[in-house]
Amino acid sequence: MLMGAATWRRAVAEFIGTLLLVAIVVGSGIMATQLSDDIGIQLLANSTATALGLPVLILMCGPVSGAHFNPVVSLADWWLGRRSGHGLTPRQLSLYVPAQVSGAIGGAVLANLMFGLPAVTWSQHERAATGLWLGEVVATAGLILLVFALARSGRANVAPAAVGAYIGAAYWFTSSTSFANPAVSIGRAFTDTFAGIAPASLVGFIPAQILGLLVGVALLAVLYPHAGEAADLVTVPHDTAASSSTPVT
């Protein structure tokens, strides 16, 4: 069980971190479209900003909340750690997820306002295809496997760089450009810009992300069957939890 920082402080850290993450994703997408008409350059700028910004946010909020910024990471943290007394409690989970979703919406609104757009502009960017949903399954499963593998093998200290690198790469190797996050997906529906997703497309994306969570947990059961014992170290060591050198099992 997580000890140390009060639960409300952890929720605030999750809100702030997710807000800034979506502001980075959406804001860099808007800036990219203003500076170039080439969609490849636009995606490169968007992915680079996210890959660089995410590790900074993890380092900033990680010592307080673990810097999940993602409901599927928080769900996995609770599910895997519940039997060993590690990870999020049900009460903490019930505060993390709303904080992440509200933070994501706030980040989209903030990005819109920074670039002189209306606070809310519902996205018209339809993202609905089997290949895109498969891309979300792959991106989400890989993220879950990565963060828990790092924690369980005693390498949580490299999680900020590793997670940033993975998300940056997944922008390019997945068909969906790797949302891999239900909260961020919801937030991106509030902006009709480069990074937006039409609200109707969430009906396919969020279930795909949940399926990716299940696939990731199944892979952990095979490769790291005791991953739940390191749930306090996801995404980075926080509160009174300390880095572990426990052998991988």
Q: Give residue-wise pLDDT tens across range 190-217.
A: 999 999 999 999 999 999 999 999 999 9
pLDDT bucket at 236, cuts 50 / 70 / 90: confident
Domain borders along the chain are 7-228
- How far is it, in rounded angstroms, from Cα 129 to Cα 22? 23
pLDDT at 5: 59
Top-confidence range, 1-10, 106-115, 238-247: 106-115
CA dihedral 225, 79, 101, 206 (to 10 degrees): 70
Among residues 159, 162, 126, 124, the alpha carbon closest in space to that of 241 is found at 159
pLDDT of residue 238: 67
Q: What is the pLDDT of residue 77?
A: 96
- Cβ neighbours of residue 127 under 8 Å, at least 6 residues apart? 176, 197, 198, 201, 204, 205
Asked if the model's pLDDT at residue 4 lies above 60, the reply is no
Name the CATH superfamily for 7-228.
Answer: Glycerol uptake facilitator protein. (1.20.1080.10)
- pLDDT above 90: residue 7: no
What six digits make up the tokens of 119?
Answer: 């606070």
Instruction: Give the mean model confidence (pLDDT) for residues 75-99.
Output: 94
pLDDT of residue 90 exceeding 50, the answer is yes
- Closest to 103 in 3D by CA, of 26, 214, 203: 26
pTM of the prediction? Answer: 0.92
pLDDT value of residue 245:
37
Tell me how far apart the alpha carbons of residues 108 and 120 are, in angstroms, rounded to a whole number: 8
Average pLDDT, the chain: 93
- What mean pLDDT comes out for the span 60-81? 96
Per-residue model confidence as pLDDT tens digits over 130-143? 999 999 999 999 99
Residue in 81, 63, 200 with CA at minimum distance from that of residue 152:
81
Query: Which residues lie below 8 Å from residue 39, measured CB to CB, with a gap of 6+?
Result: none
Q: What is the pLDDT of residues 10-53, one digit of tens each?
A: 999 999 999 999 999 999 999 999 999 999 999 999 999 999 99
